Amino acid sequence: MNDKYPRATNAEGEPKRVDDWELLRTVVAAGATLGSGALVLGGVSIGECALAGTGAVVTRDVETRETVVENPARHRGQIP
């Protein structure tokens, strides 16, 4: 689900329809690596050859060759 504010019902309490959802583009560039259990939120881009560690919760864009880990994901270095 790529909706920043997911809810099963709309403001009137009725089940949401297809038109009620706002889908956000998520991009994982060539050569990027996502560790097991990593979660990438909607609207976030992961740069080329970047690394999101196991279990990382990626809430912001990750630059090319950047390494991020933890929850929320934090910068831990650059890949040469």
The 10s digit of each residue's pLDDT in 44-79 is 999 999 999 999 999 999 999 999 999 999 999 999
Task: Give residues with Cβ within 8 angstroms of 9, minimum separation 6.
Answer: 15, 16
What integer is the mean pLDDT of 37-42? 94
In 5-70, where do the E strands start and end?
A: 27-28, 33-34, 39-40, 45-46, 51-52, 57-58, 66-69
Phi, psi for 20 (deg, rounded to 5): -85, -15
What integer is the mean pLDDT of 12-36? 88
Residue range(s) defining the domain that contains residue 40? 25-78
Residue 3 forms part of a structural domain: no
Q: What are 44's two structure tokens?
A: 């976030």
Residue 20 forms part of a structural domain: no
Residue 2: is its pLDDT beyond 70?
A: no
Residue 12 forms part of a structural domain: no
